Copies of this chain bind each other. A is one copy, B any other.
Amino acid sequence: MARRSITQLGENESINEVYVASSKQLRPNRQGNLYLQMQLSDKSGAVNAMMWNANEGIYKRFEDGDYIRIQGTSQFYNGAMQVIVSHIEKVDARDVDESDFMQVSPQRMDDMLKELAEHLRAIRNIHLRNLAECFLIDEALIARFRKSPAAVKNHHAYEGGLLEHVVNLIKVGKAIVPFYPQVDEDLLVMGILFHDMGKVDELSTDKGLAYSDEGQLIGHLVSGVSIVDRLTKEAEKLADEPFPEELALRIKHMVVSHHGKLEYGSPKVPMTAEALALHYIDSLDAHMHGFDKLLADDVNTDSRWTTYSPQFGRKLYKGGGEA
State the A residues within 8 Å of B (CB): 25-32, 34-35, 50, 52, 56, 75-79, 82, 84, 125, 127, 168, 171-172, 175-176, 178-180, 182-183, 213-214, 216-219, 221-222, 225-226, 229, 244, 246-247, 249-250, 252-253, 256-257, 262-269, 271-273, 276-277, 280-281, 283-285, 287-288, 291-292, 295, 304-305, 314-317, 319-320, 322-323
Contact = CB atoms under 8 A, between A and B. Distances in A.
Contacts of A247: 323
Query: Closest 7 interchain pairs by CB?
Result: A280-B284, A29-B30, A217-B253, A175-B175, A244-B323, A28-B77, A271-B317
A35 B106 CA distance: 44
23 contacts: A29-B31, A30-B31, A172-B179, A175-B178, A176-B176, A176-B284, A213-B319, A216-B268, A216-B271, A218-B252, A219-B267, A225-B226, A246-B319, A256-B267, A262-B262, A262-B263, A262-B264, A271-B315, A272-B317, A276-B287, A277-B284, A280-B281, A280-B284
A244 to B, nearest CB: 4
B222 A256 contact: yes
Contacts of A265: 262, 267-268
A218 B77 CA distance: 33
A295 B271 CA distance: 13
Contacts of A284: 176, 276-277, 280-281, 284
Contact of A287 (B28, B29, B280): B280
Given A250-B319, A320-B246, A26 B291 contact: no
Nearest to A272: B317
A272 to B, nearest CB: 5
B262 A218 contact: no
A221 B219 CA distance: 12
Given A77-B34, A176-B284, A319-B272, A82 B28 contact: yes
Contact of A217 (B27, B82, B182, B252): B252
Contact of A323 (B32, B125, B271): B125
